[in-house]
Every structure is written in C-alpha cells, then in structure tokens.
Chains A and B, each alone.
Chain A
Amino acid sequence: MSVLAAGLGPCRARLAGYSRVVEAPRAGEAQRSLGSPELTAQGLREVGYLPSERIASVVYLGRQLAKPVLVEGPAGTGKTELAKSVALMTGMRMIRLQCYEGLDEAKALYEWDYKKQLLRIQAGQAAGATGATGAGAADWAGLESDIFSEEFLLSRPLLAAIRSPEPVVLLIDEVDRLEVETEALLLEVLSDYQVSIPELGTVTATQTPLVFLTSNNSRDLSEALKRRCLYLYIDYPSVEREQEIVRSRVPGIGARLAAQVSGLVRSLRDIDLKKRPSVAETIDLARTLFLLGAEEVTPELAADTLHVLLKYQSDIEKAAKELAPGLPA
C-alpha cells in the first residue's frame, strides 16, 4: 500500500500540469455552464433535462478531465437525451455516430473520395494531352500528393468531431452493438483525440470534444474501452425525480396526477416483468392521462391505460392482477 501511495506522488505532480492544460480558455458558454457540478445541473435543468446529482457531477468531470463519458443503463432512461441536452445547454454542435453491427472505418472515421480523385486524375490527363508531354514522373508525384490531400478526404463522424474548429459534442450511440473487433476503432479517438491517416499523418483535435458513449449493456464492453472513459450508470429515477420529470415534460399536469403516475410506475417496476416501463413510457402515460382530462388515476383508468406502459400482453395481465386484484384484466 505504501508503495502504491509513493507511486502516486509523481502522478499527482503530472496531473497538476494536466489540469492546467484542460483549464485553458474555451468557448464562453461552455465555460459558464460546465464550470461546476451545480452550474451543470442548473444548465441542464434549464434545457429541460432533470439530472440527478451524480449525473451532473460526471458530466462536469468529463469536461474537467477531458475524458469521454460512458453512459449505461436500462433502455429509455435518458442516456441519449443527456448528450443532446448537454449540446443544447452549451450551444455546441452535436455529431452523432449511431453504432450497428458491421460499422467499419469508412463509415466511422474517414474515407477517400475516390470519384473526385478519379476526376482529378482525368483532368490532369486532359491537361497533359493538350500541353507538352514530359516530366511525367514529377507530374505523378505532384498528382499523388494532391489527390491524397485533405481536399479529397471525406470526414465521417469521428474525424469530423476531431477536425471541427469549434468545440462539439460527440455522441457515440449504442456502442454495445459494435463487434469487439470494431470497438478498437474508437480507442485512439477516445484516449488521444486524434486520428491517424496513413497517407496524411495524424490529425489531432484543436478543441477537445465532449464525448458521450451510450450502451444498453447487451454485452460487456472491452476493458480497454472502459478504462478510457468515466462511467455513469443511469438507473430508473427515484420516485421524486420521476415526478419532477413528469411535471416538466407534461406542462399543466396536476401535482396529484403526477405523483400517482410516478408511484404507479415505481410499483410496476418492482414486479417481475418481461420489460419494465421506462421513463419515456412514464411520460407517455402522464401525457395520455392528461389529454384524457383525468384528475387522478382510478383503478379503471389504470387498467385501461396500462398498455401505454407495458408492451407485452402477459405483462399487462399480470400488472392488472397485481395492482387491483378485484378488477377484470
């Protein structure tokens, strides 16, 4: 243990320098709204996202330590929404990379615009045919360095985020859908904010992007990826927070109805269901009841609107039986 403590001394010394680099001046807006966990929370609240204290702290840390944030949690708890809200709050542009099985370099990082390259070669040939022939070798060298220049490079999301002159929010959505092998594509971007292109060299970010990765935990991500990220697990919200979310998302809803809806959803989540209701579905239910003009949830109304929350017939029957034993399913 003492060895460990001693070993950390130099690290801390290095870190002091590290944080200074990060604190270099950046866009005024981002500076203000990501200045402290409280400001982050307040900023997020202003754009309609109600963060828990943990969420606000981790977003703040992501900025301060210049580290990507890996967000995990059940479906429909606001993982993608968080990244969108941060973009909205800071006024940064959001670049989104939707992951899927079979995503490759050409779609995630960059691609050479080979049609344009062909045109350039043909144009060169045409010019050569009319003008004097000669100095072919020199021509070719010039042409080669020309067609492998930035002009012919098509930026895909990751490179676009790195090359962007203004700071951006990069959202890498559903990263668990990538195959393990493809995951490695992300590592260079995530740890050093740079992309190596063999023909061009290394493109390094001038502005550190805010990176969010989301995952539904359908498989374990590799240690290498996790190590590079801050980890944030967004679980179903507490009943109080969910109530607040409902009230902010369904303006005009009565306090009692909001309380009942969130209480109902919380009770449903405790039952052993195939798919537990998400926050998005809670909001749907609240909106439905609000539009129906309900003042409060009666058992009959609950039984009639359960299908908004639950998407399996067996779940609906079970929930109806659990909640009000006397009622017909």
Chain B
Amino acid sequence: MTAPRDATLAAFVAELRTIGLPVTVSENVDAMAAVLAMPVTDRAALKSALAATLVKNSDHYGAFDLVFDIFFGGGGPGPGAPAGPAAQAGPDAPAGRGAPGGLAGGGAGVLTALGDDDLADLLLRAVAAGDQLLIRAIVAEAVTRYAGMEPGRPVAGTYYLHRTVSRLDLARLLRRLLASAEAGAEAPGAPGPAGPAGASALDRRLTADEYARRVDAIRAEVEAEIRRRLVADRGIEAVAGTLRRPLPEDVEFLNASPQQLTALRQAVQVLGRKMAARLARKRRHHRRSALDFRRTIRRSLSTGGVPVDLVFRKPHPAKPEIMLIADISSSVAAFARFTLQLAYAIRSEFSRVRCFVFVDGIEEVTTVFESAPDMATITRHINSGTGAVRLDGHSDYGMVLESFWDQWGPQVRKRTSVIILGDGRNNYHTSRSWVLKAIRQQARHLYWLNPEPARFWDTGDSIISEYARHCDKMVECRNLRQLRQFVEDLD
C-alpha cells in the first residue's frame, strides 16, 4: 500500500469532522507531516500516524477506527496482522451474490466447494487454533454464501450481518468449542489457549473467556467484511454517510442501548469525580466568615495594640450534601439506567449523597447503593418491586413531590443540593409545584435535569415549565456533552 493521496486524507478528515471530532487545521497539518514522516506506509503505520495526530480523546477511538476502516479498507483482526489480504479484499471484493470470493488466493476455491457443515467444522478448528488468516477466509466465504447482499442498496448492512451471524450460529460454535475444550482437558495434549492438562475450575473459566473473546472477534470480522463489500459496491463516501454513528458523548440517553450505556461508564465516573471536586473547591475558596476577635486582639499586640491584621474565623469545612431524585418510569428507562450509574459514581466519591427513585411513589435507595457491590445488583433490587411504584406505574410527579416533602422535607437543609432527574411528564395529574418552591427556599440549590429534547417540553402531558419556574436551573440533559456542560457550569 502506498501513501494515500491528499484528496483521500482530506476527505477522511472531513468525515471525522462531520461526525463531530474536533480536528483543528494545525492537527490536520500535523497528520500530513506524520504520514510523510513514516518510513514505511503500511496500513498499521498509517493508522498510528493518523490516530496520534487527529484523535486526542480515547473515547473517540471507536469512531475513528470505523471511519479509518471505511476509508482505508481492511479492518483486520489486530494491528499486528499482515496487511496483504486486506489490501486485496479492498478493490476486488465481490459486490453481489454468487461472485467468487476474491480472498486468500487459491484457498477460496477450496472453501466454496465445502458444504455448510464442513465450513462450520473448519471454522471451529480455525478458532480453536487461533488461525486469523483462515478465519478471515471462512468469514469471507460465509458472507458470500449467507448474507445475500444486493448491490446498490443504500443500507448500513445490519441485516446482512444478522443473516450471516445467525447462519454461522456463533452461540453453537461457542458451545462446541467449550465442549471440545472439556474433552481436550480430559485427554491431555489437545490444544487450548490456557495450555493442556491440569484443568481446574479456574482453567475452565479462563478458557471459556478466551473462546468467548475469539467468537466475538468473528462477529467483528463479519461486520468488517460486509463493510468492505459495501465500500466496494457503493464507494467510500456513500458508505461513510450511512454508517455514521454519534460519538459517545452525543449518544442520547433516551435511545441509548445498554452497550452504549456501559461504554459511557468510564466517562460518568470521571464526571462524578469532577462534580465532587467542584463542590470541594467551593469549600476551600469560601471567604466570608466572621471576625475572630480573640486572635485579632492577640495579633494586635505586635503592632502596639492597633489591630492591623484582622483575623477571620476559619470557615467550617461545609460538607455539601446531595439529594438525587430520579424518575425511573418506562418513558425514561434508558435515562434512568444512566442516572443510577451517575449516582453510583458520585457516591463512591462523596459520602453524603442520598438517592431516591420514583414512578408514582417514592423510595430512598441510599442503603441499597451502600451495600450493593455493583450496578447490576442495584438495578436488580430496584426492578424487583419497590415503593417506587404505588398504583399503576404511570409517573405522577405531584404525588411524588408531596410525599417526598412529607417524609424527607425536614432533612433538606441549607447545604443540601437537590437534583431532580426526569422528563416532567405527569400523565395529567396535578403538578403541586408548591413543593419545589418550598424545597428551593430551604436548599442550597435545586437543579432539574431533563433528558427530553427542549422542543418537546410542554407538549402533551409535559408540565415542565411549571416546575422550571421554581428551579435554580432547568437544563436539557440529553447526552454526555450536555451533562458535562452542566457540571462545568456548577458554581
């Protein structure tokens, strides 16, 4: 592979910018210089050079990798893999059904002659041995055989992926792999990633993990193969357009998949820490305390009784308290998952966080957070019927606010920050917004984070502006970027 032309690189950078990566002009220039500076321009070197200069945030690597694969072919099993087959597959991959697989030279002919079961067996052996080249060839054959790709259709290929993967039956493949590993362990000498013999529970576990990973890699390989063929069929830019996915920080909480939410976990932890740090800093710079009379007089002795230096009382280290009240009704289900993640992250930094969840009743879950070792346990507890659902499971903000006020109102103090997370869709119940007014009078801050796009506020049964009147801040919080902004603006 020779160095790509300027036009390709420019289009590549343009695509990154379209997705939302902040690539500045000087970074673009650096990228050019880096590509020129690499002595050998194979695919991996090109990727290193571009990644080092264009991507400055590890969260963006996923998006970068995808665009890179589209623009520069391949999508290999790893950076160390030879670039040969990838380069071949780029230009002459078959565009449609029935075309011969232009991959792996003469081996492809043998593969096409195999029956479906034989192909599955071969794949099993290839995975067990970890033979990346063979796996690639088989995947290419499988895509040709099962995906049923039709040229010229502007699709993202998820359907092709689904068809290929379901025909390959990866779940069964994994089961067979594990079974053969068990058998192999009893008859030592069989290949296995953790080595032969002496199979204990631990070994089995490690082997299972290793195989699960390899099978996942097949799925990724199928995806890459389909992508390569789509690119060959419709051209780079068209495919890039169809495959465009939001960056992690732009993923909307309301439509996020569980995988996307898990991917956000790291970022959420950082945010939780930052939130704690913000409040702590406020604590330190606070300079509005009363005069320390005794120490002022004591110090005035050195200036002949004239109080030149006034001494103030050291501010009490105010311990900020947070009350997090989260809507977990079905209309904001994905957001609720995220909310809990955030609460969990803040909790690990901050001891004085109290968490409440509600639908049409409200329940305190602080103790659950304390005792549970991880998020999964918490979610399970909350799902297994709690006080959060009282009647019909339709959210009733008015009712919830009033019962919060009745039970915990006196515990809202001057140093308490109350944060409510919800969409304010009240199912046409009464709003009882006087509760918010009362909370605001007592608390230090009252914030409301709303996961709904602002243009939907006050439509249908949303009565958000009625609540907004009583909050210090009502912010749209649809994605991580907006949440980050909110934390940034915290005073």
Contacts and interface: CB of A to CB of B under 8 A. Distances in A.
A53 B40 CA distance: 13
A8 B38 contact: no
Contact of B201 (A52, A218, A324): A324
A65 B37 contact: yes
Interface of B: 6-7, 10-11, 13-14, 22, 24-30, 32-34, 36-40, 44-45, 48-49, 51-53, 55-58, 61, 78-80, 193-195, 198, 200-203, 205-206, 209-210, 270, 273-274, 277, 348, 373-376
Contact of A5 (B7, B51, B52): B7
Given A15-B32, A54-B48, A326-B201, A267 B270 contact: no
A72 B51 CA distance: 13
Interface in A223-242: 223, 226-227, 229-233, 235, 238-239
Nearest to A18: B33
Contact of A54 (B51, B56, B194): B51
A56 B106 CA distance: 35
A221 to B, nearest CB: 8
A61 B38 contact: yes
Contacts of A217: 58, 270
Interface in A248-298: 256, 259-260, 263-264, 266-267, 270, 272, 274, 296-298
Contacts of B201: 299, 323-327
Given A219-B274, A267-B205, A296-B198, A57 B52 contact: yes
B37 A64 contact: yes
Nearest to B29: A11
Contact of B37 (A61, A260, A274): A61
Given A8-B29, A64-B37, A324 B205 contact: yes
B56 A299 contact: no
Q: Which 7 A-B pairs have the closest CB atoms?
A: A57-B48, A226-B56, A64-B37, A263-B206, A5-B10, A233-B58, A230-B52
Contacts of A314: 373
Nearest to A240: B80
Most chain A CB within 10 A, of B32, B53, B56, B210, is at B56
A297 B376 contact: no
Given A53-B48, A230-B52, A259-B194, A302 B28 contact: no
A67 interface: yes
Contacts of B78: 238
A37 B47 CA distance: 13
Contact of A227 (B24, B52, B270, B273): B24
A18 B193 CA distance: 49
A299 B200 CA distance: 7
Interface in A190-235: 217-220, 223, 226-227, 229-233, 235
A227 B26 contact: yes
A296 B39 CA distance: 43
Interface residues of A, number: 64
Contacts of A219: 270, 274, 277
Given A5-B6, A223-B22, A263-B209, A230 B53 contact: yes
A54 B79 contact: yes
Nearest to B277: A219
A298 B273 CA distance: 38
24 contacts: A1-B11, A1-B14, A5-B7, A8-B6, A19-B36, A37-B40, A37-B48, A53-B80, A57-B52, A70-B56, A220-B57, A226-B57, A231-B53, A231-B57, A235-B58, A260-B194, A263-B209, A263-B210, A267-B205, A272-B374, A272-B376, A323-B202, A326-B201, A327-B201
B206 A61 contact: no
A318 interface: yes
Given A230-B52, A260-B194, A61 B80 contact: no
A324 B28 contact: no
B209 A227 contact: no
Most chain A CB within 10 A, of B27, B200, B202, B277, is at B202
A8 B80 contact: no
Given A218-B273, A231-B53, A299-B201, 7 more contacts: A57-B48, A219-B274, A259-B194, A264-B202, A272-B376, A299-B202, A324-B201
A36 interface: yes
A148 to B, nearest CB: 33
Given A15-B32, A324-B202, A325-B201, A61 B49 contact: yes
A115 interface: no
Interface in A307-329: 314, 317-318, 323-327
Nearest to A238: B78
Contacts of A73: 58
Contact of A302 (B25, B79, B202): B202
B193 to A, nearest CB: 7
B52 A231 contact: yes
Nearest to A270: B209
Contacts of A65: 30, 33-34, 37
B194 A231 contact: no
Interface in A39-73: 52-54, 57-58, 61, 64-65, 67, 69-70, 72-73
B304 to A, nearest CB: 29
Contacts of B79: 52-54
Most chain A CB within 10 A, of B10, B33, B206, B376, is at B33
A258 to B, nearest CB: 10
A4 interface: yes
A37 B39 contact: yes
A58 B44 CA distance: 12
B53 A259 contact: no
A218 B48 contact: no
Contacts of A299: 200-202
B392 to A, nearest CB: 34
B206 A264 contact: yes
Contact of A256 (B40, B195, B205): B195
A226 B52 CA distance: 11
Given A53-B80, A54-B48, A227 B27 contact: yes
Contacts of B45: 37, 57
A209 B21 CA distance: 30
A57 B202 CA distance: 37
Contact of A61 (B24, B25, B52, B274): B52
A36 B33 CA distance: 15
Contacts of B80: 53
Contact of A218 (B32, B36, B270): B270
A259 B193 CA distance: 9
B488 to A, nearest CB: 10
A70 B53 CA distance: 11
A99 to B, nearest CB: 16
A327 B200 CA distance: 12
B10 A4 contact: yes
Contact of B52 (A232, A264, A266): A232
Contacts of A1: 10-11, 14
Contacts of A61: 34, 37-38, 48-49, 52-53
Interface in A10-40: 11-12, 15, 18-19, 36-37
Contacts of B61: 233
A223 B26 CA distance: 12
A294 B210 CA distance: 23
Contacts of A230: 30, 34, 52-53
Most chain B CB within 10 A, of A229, A263, A297, is at A263
